[in-house]
Each structure stands twice: as C-alpha cells, then as structure tokens.
Structure 1
Amino acid sequence: MRRVLLALLALAAGLVAGCDNAGANPSAPATTAKAADAGGACQLLDFGMVNAKLGLNLSVAAGAQQDNTFSCVLQAAHASYPDLVLSVSTTTIGADVFGTMIQPKDATAVQGLGVTGYQMQTPPTDKAGPGVEVGWLAGNKRIIELSLRLAPGTPDEKAGEAMPKLVELAKLIDLSSL
C-alpha cells in the first residue's frame, strides 16, 4: 500500500514540476487560484487554510487519481520545496490492521485524529530537506497521509516545529472528509 501511495505521490510531484500554475486560470495570479481546481485530493485543501496553518506561501497545486487513491501536491510558485503532499485511499481495513500494516514502526500516536492516527519526522534526502508526516484512518474508511517536506539545508528543528502545525491541519482535513 505504501509503495502505491509513494508512486502516486511521485506522479503528482512530476505533474507539479511540469506546471507553473497548475489548477489555476493561466492569466490569473497564483494567489487567486483554488487548490481544489487541480482535482484529486486537492479538493480537500485550500491555499489560504494551508498557508495560515503552516506559515507558508504555497500557490501551485496538482492533483491525480490512480484507482482508489487520490493525491495532491502543493508547492510555492517556481520552487520544488517546501511541498505538501496529501493522499487519500478508500479502504476496508480497521484500526488494528492500520496500526500494524500502514503506520510506520517509528511513528507516534496522534490523539483526536480519525479512528487512529500517527505522526513522525522524516530525514532529509539527497534532494529535499527534513519533513514531517501525519497519517490516519478516517471514520469514513479512508487512509489519509499528509506530509510536508522542507527545502534542502533546512535544520531538522524546523521540521520538528512544523509537526504540531501539520497535525492541526490534518485535523481540519479529517473534518472536511466526513
């Protein structure tokens, strides 16, 4: 399941990389674009809400769908990072299976998020800085993962500072997905 989600996220990231203002009217400034216009899981996101919660200036969106998984990538115009990735997949699993099969082993529980949820910090990669991830099993039988990846060279502490903000954003998304 995680491999499918990662492949979809890579696909969505490629869509964003190829667009300078995906999901928006080409003649309109990026600030007037609606993330939902990009389709996919972007329908659960709003630039104003995301930027206010995370303290960012994301303005480009790309959405995708593969089978029962919808994804969305938000980025700043003309920049690869930071990026916010949301994926939503329908499921029939319960909390016990989510906890053993989906939730990463080094993640910690998040109270008050869906049926069950987790959070974890992710290390930098060759191309990206550190990040944070929140995942949960929503009450409407959806597996939702939300991740924020920061720019290369960003100190790990900045990712740690972003964690509670991402959890709060996840809780808003969880309410909107009911």
Structure 2
Amino acid sequence: MRTVAGVLAVLVLLSGCDDAGAHPGPAASTAPAAPAAAAGGACQLLDFPVVNAKLGLDLAVAAAATQDNTFTCVLQPSGGATPDLILSVTATTIGADIYASAVQPKGAAPVEGLGAAAYQLTTPATDTAGPGAEVGWLAGNKRIIQLSVHLTHGTADTAGTDLLPKLVSLAKLIDLSSL
C-alpha cells in the first residue's frame, strides 16, 4: 500500500509542474458539441459531417425554429455568423406548376432530378454577408424546401457560383431524407 501511495504522491506533485513550453497543448477541436438534429425542427434533416464534407465548410452550431407550418434550421461555425446554411421546410398543397410559376424566383435555373420541381441560383453579397447560393424544390411529400448558404463577407463573388453544384448535391441528399 505504501508503494501505491508513494506513486500517487509523486504523480500529484508532478501534475503541478508547469511545462507548458515543453509540450504543446492539445489542438483545439472544431467538432460540434451535439449533432445538428439535436436542435430539432428542420435540423433533423441535417448532419454536420455530411454538410461540411459536401460544402467544404466548418459548421458546428445549429439552431431551429418553427412558425405555423414552417420548420427552419440555421447552421453556423462556432464563434462566427458566416458562413451559414439555412434550411426551411413548409407543408403545402400546391403542385409543380404552381411552384414553378409562383414560388420559384425569376431568373433561377431549373434543377433536374430534384423533387417535383426545383431551382438553383447564386445570391449576391450584402452588407453583412458574402455571396452565396440557393436551391429550392417541391418535394414529393408536398413540402416546399429551401436551402441557402451565405459565405463570409469579402469572399470572391465567384465562390457562390462554385458552391452551387455542391449545394444541389446536398439538396438531393436532403430530398431523399424528407420522403
């Protein structure tokens, strides 16, 4: 027993030594503290590793809200407002023809292979965020879904165009999970 007590005493004494310069500390982790789905709402359709891998971002914080029959989710990096990803899901009774004429923004390009009707477009930079991209679609389960990303202020305008095919790919994964 004395040997165990002696070893513990030495370990306690050594743990108080300051050798911060001798060994670098552990690398800071940007891993999310909780899965995106834990925020509820539309966040249940998102997964940080999948979103980050598809878009090349480092999002780690999720927040959800519900208003009437619309569920939303915002993903952001820890410690910053942008880049951000916004997902909204709204129940509807409209068909593809109404969606294309009344919901789809003017100037948007169609997306093949996504929902009953879908569009894609780039979004310009604003005073608070850089350029971005948006994909919207009418899902087969009668949901209007919109997915958008705003990049960091000062990001080149071409970054929104580069992001668009990645966002369409993510939208197709979300569409499968929303059936």
TM-score range, shorter chain: 0.7 to 0.9
- TM-score normalised by L of structure 1: 0.83
The 5 Å alignment of 1:18-167 reads 30-167=31-168
3-state DSSP of counterpart to 2:176 = helix
Unaligned runs of 5+ in 2: 1-28
Shift of 1:32: 4.0
Counterparts of 2:147 and 2:157, CA distance in 1 = 18
Aligned length: 151
Counterparts of 2:122 and 2:30, CA distance in 1 = 33
Counterparts of 1:132 and 1:158, CA distance in 2 = 9
Please say which structure displays the higher CA radius of gyration.
2
3-state DSSP of counterpart to 2:52 = helix
3-state DSSP of counterpart to 1:143 = strand
Query: Where does residue 15 of structure 1 map in the other structure?
Result: none
* C-alpha contact (below 8 Å) 2:30/2:60 kept by paired residues: no
* C-alpha contact (below 8 Å) 2:30/2:78 kept by paired residues: no
Unaligned runs of 5+ in 1: 1-27
Counterparts of 1:149 and 1:79, CA distance in 2 = 12
* C-alpha contact (below 8 Å) 1:54/1:162 kept by paired residues: yes
3-state DSSP of counterpart to 1:126 = coil
- TM-score normalised by L of structure 2: 0.82
Matched, 1:172 2:173: yes
- Provide runs of 4+ in structure 1 moved above 4 Å: none
After superposition, the CA RMSD in angstroms is: 1.2
